[in-house]
């Protein structure tokens, strides 16, 4: 057990989560090894972002354990949770930059809140973070002046400001042009390799995410339906996995949303 | 019938749950170790947004309400030959009722709706969530300074509203209708009681400040994070704040001025 805890930064055991009476996850099990990039893929609306919020303690599951470095996140006290969150970070789909602060001040925000650094040191530290995402030249720009890709990179600089152990990326490639997508793929890979950061990447951009993931899970039907390296997933015989990875319009996930019989529905209009 | 009872029960449960959530929000925002060095600059910024930016509407409204009050008062008082009491009428009406109530309603419409929309948008754009994930409590950083700004600004705005309203009364009563300035001011001086009128005016104002700021902040914090949700929350802020201010005014007036 101790060995497992040392190897895995995040472990989810038999976790169930409901929104009202609708189950999102039922007896979910998942592990995220330290220093690796773990991808979580699945169709839209399946609850991937919810999973990140559960790991971050923003939501509480109805059952099961979510361990972060051996500590159960849902049962933490509020103050302990805030302590633990200093070691984790999340890149939101929208970037979630503070719109009334410049890019520089956005990156400086967590540093100013948590560390009492002299202003010259803080200044250099922020510039180093911005340099690592290629946005040192945009330090004085406001979030409204940034493109979608730049906003996400600025948010990434803010996410790594406190040098966390874990970064969770929520759909980092969504809505990005190929260049921005390539830049983000490169940044995630570099952060993982150079700083040894543990990364969880939630995405449905199969090719991009599998190109950097050490291990990937596919979520469907309220639990993990497949897990493995990109090669293992590509050779998985499960029809649901094949449909997702190959992007097939019809399959176990049907093209048509469940409805009453078509003829019956049409005849109602006639009558 | 059974459905109606079930719906009524559900609505009651929802209202109680909402009151509980709003209480927890305020408790989380206000209870805790103060961090003056970090919170003071945020408070000053909110004083500007909530207080200073509401000044124009407060001053203009105060002026016109004072003028209208004086004009109507003059028409009525002259029929009894009692126009010398116009100053007292304007001052007491503004201090006891119109000042705190109208300033409260204007505050809810200008600052309250802005607070709700701002916090709602912060929620919709995941800024509050990102703050939580940075181990920064949004209740302490976002809600608390806005609450205190509302709490302290509203009485000031009310005082300014009343003062400008009285000046509006002077413009109409003294400068236009020719009432003697000495009569006007002395009737105020001799009939306005420091505690009974001025003190109660500020008590009302603080009560309205707590109610309307709390409602505005909670509606933003608890809104459905969509454009429709924010729009509904902003409307709710103005409607609920106005109703609560008017309801509270009746209760406070009954407590303060009945023998």
Q: Is the CA virtual torsion B38, A108, A197, A147 positive or negative? A: positive
Pick from B66, B98, B60, B79: nearest CA to B175: B66
8 Å CB contact between A166 and A198: yes
**pLDDT band at residue A54 using 50, 70 and 90 as cut-offs:** very high
8 Å CB contact between B91 and B70: no
Place of tokens 């000053």: B44
Per-residue model confidence as pLDDT tens digits over A115-133: 888 999 999 999 999 998 8
Instruction: Give the pLDDT of residue B259.
Output: 66
- Contacting residues of B for A58, CB less than 8 Å apart: 129, 132-133
Phi, psi (degrees; rounded to nearest 5) at B93: -60, -40
Can you tell me the distance from the alpha carbon of A82 to that of A98, in angstroms, rounded to the nearest whole number?
20
Instruction: Give the pLDDT of residue A270.
Output: 67
CATH top class, domain A8-87+164-269: alpha beta
Whether residue B130 and residue A82 make contact (CB cut-off 8 A), yes or no, is no
- B34 found inside a domain: no
**Cβ-nearest to B135 among A86, A93, A96:** A86
8 Å CB contact between A260 and A245: no
- B146 found inside a domain: yes
- Contacting residues of A for B133, CB less than 8 Å apart: 56, 58, 85, 88-90
8 Å CB contact between A110 and A161: yes
Instruction: Give the pLDDT of residue B112.
Output: 94
Instruction: Give the pLDDT of residue A193.
Output: 86
Per-residue model confidence as pLDDT tens digits over B66-106: 999 999 999 999 998 888 899 999 999 999 999 999 999 99
**pLDDT band at residue A4 using 50, 70 and 90 as cut-offs:** very low
Pick from B213, B38, B36, B25: nearest CA to B136: B38
- B219 found inside a domain: yes
Residue A180 DSSP class: H
The domain ranges of chain A are 8-87+164-269, 96-163
- B29 found inside a domain: no
Measured between CA atoms, the residue of chain A closest to residue B142 is A98
Q: Tokens for B53?
A: 């930016």
Per-residue model confidence as pLDDT tens digits over A122-170: 999 999 999 988 889 999 999 999 988 889 889 989 998 888 999 999 9
Per-residue model confidence as pLDDT tens digits over B225-250: 999 999 999 999 999 999 999 999 99
- B198 found inside a domain: yes
Question: How many inter-chain contacts (A to B, CB under 8 Å) are there?
Answer: 48
Residues in chain A whose Cβ is within 8 Å of chain B? 53, 56, 58, 82-83, 85-86, 88-90, 92-94, 96-99, 109-110, 113-114, 155, 158, 162
Lowest mean pLDDT among A189-193, A219-223, A245-249, B170-174: A245-249
Phi, psi (degrees; rounded to nearest 5) at B254: -60, -40
ipTM over 0.85: no
Q: How many residues does chain B have?
A: 259
From residue A104, give the alpha-carbon distance in Å to each of A92, A101, A120, A142. Answer: 18, 8, 13, 9
Sheet with A166-170: list strands edge to edge: A88-91, A166-170, A198-203, A37-41, A215-220, A223-228
Residue B83 DSSP class: G
From residue B111, give the alpha-carbon distance in Å to each of B118, B207, B212. Answer: 10, 16, 9
Residue A202 DSSP class: E
Can you tell me the distance from the alpha carbon of B117 to that of B231, in angstroms, rounded to the nearest whole number?
8
- B32 found inside a domain: no
- For residue A221, the distance in angstroms to the closest alpha carbon of chain B comes to 26
- B185 found inside a domain: yes
- Contacting residues of B for A88, CB less than 8 Å apart: 133
Number of structural domains (chain B) is 1
- B37 found inside a domain: no
Instruction: Give the pLDDT of residue B148.
Output: 94
Q: Tokens for A189?
A: 């890979």
Whether residue B129 and residue A89 make contact (CB cut-off 8 A), yes or no, is no
């Amino acid at each position: 057990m101790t060995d497992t805890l040392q190897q895995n930064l995040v472990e989810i055991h038999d976790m169930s989560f409901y929104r009202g009476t609708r189950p999102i996850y039922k007896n979910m099990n998942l592990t995220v090894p330290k220093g690796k990039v773990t991808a979580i893929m699945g169709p839209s609306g399946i609850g991937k972002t919810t999973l990140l919020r559960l790991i971050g303690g923003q939501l509480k599951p109805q059952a099961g354990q979510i361990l972060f470095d051996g500590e159960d996140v849902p049962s933490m006290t509020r103050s302990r949770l805030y302590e633990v969150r200093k070691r984790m970070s999340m890149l939101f789909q929208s970037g979630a930059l503070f719109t009334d602060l410049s890019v520089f001040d956005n990156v400086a925000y967590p540093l100013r809140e948590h560390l009492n650094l002299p202003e010259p040191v803080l200044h250099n530290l922020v510039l180093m973070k911005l340099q690592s995402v290629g946005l040192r030249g945009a330090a004085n720009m406001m979030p409204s002046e940034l493109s979608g890709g730049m906003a996400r990179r600025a948010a990434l600089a803010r996410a790594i400001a406190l040098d966390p152990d874990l970064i969770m990326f929520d759909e980092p490639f969504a809505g990005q042009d190929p260049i921005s997508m390539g830049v983000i793929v490169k940044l995630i890979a570099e952060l993982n390799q150079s700083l040894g950061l543990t990364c969880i990447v939630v995405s449905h951009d199969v090719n991009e995410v599998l190109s950097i993931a050490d291990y990937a899970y596919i979520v469907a039907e309220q639990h993990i339906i497949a897990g493995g390296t990109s090669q293992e997933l590509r050779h998985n015989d499960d029809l649901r996995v094949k449909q997702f990875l190959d992007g097939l319009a019809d399959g176990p996930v049907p093209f048509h949303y469940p409805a009453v019989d078509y003829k019956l529905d049409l005849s109602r209009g006639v009558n | 019938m059974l459905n109606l009872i079930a719906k009524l029960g559900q609505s009651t449960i929802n209202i109680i749950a909402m009151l509980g959530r709003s209480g927890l929000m305020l408790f989380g925002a206000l209870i805790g170790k103060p961090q003056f060095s970090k919170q003071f600059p945020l408070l000053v910024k909110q004083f500007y947004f909530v207080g200073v930016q509401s000044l124009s509407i407060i001053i203009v409204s105060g002026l016109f309400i004072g003028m209208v009050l004086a004009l109507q008062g003059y028409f009525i008082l002259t029929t009894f030959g009692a126009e010398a009491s116009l100053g007292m009428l304007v001052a007491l009406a503004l201090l006891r009722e119109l000042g705190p109530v109208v300033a409260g309603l204007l505050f809810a419409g200008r600052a309250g709706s802005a607070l709700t929309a701002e916090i709602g948008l912060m929620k919709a754009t995941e800024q509050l969530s990102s703050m939580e994930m940075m181990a920064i409590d949004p209740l302490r950083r976002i809600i608390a300074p806005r609450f205190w700004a509302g709490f302290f600004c509203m009485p000031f705005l009310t005082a300014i509203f009343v003062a400008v309203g009285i000046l509006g009364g002077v413009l109409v009563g003294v400068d236009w209708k020719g009432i003697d300035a000495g009569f006007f001011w002395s009737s105020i001086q001799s009939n306005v009681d420091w505690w009974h009128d001025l003190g109660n005016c500020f008590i009302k104002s603080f009560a309205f400040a707590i109610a309307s700021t709390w409602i505005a902040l909670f509606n933003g914090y608890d809104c459905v994070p969509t454009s429709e949700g924010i729009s509904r929350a902003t409307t709710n802020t103005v409607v609920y704040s106005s109703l609560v201010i008017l309801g509270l005014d009746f209760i406070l007036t009954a407590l303060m001025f009945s023998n």
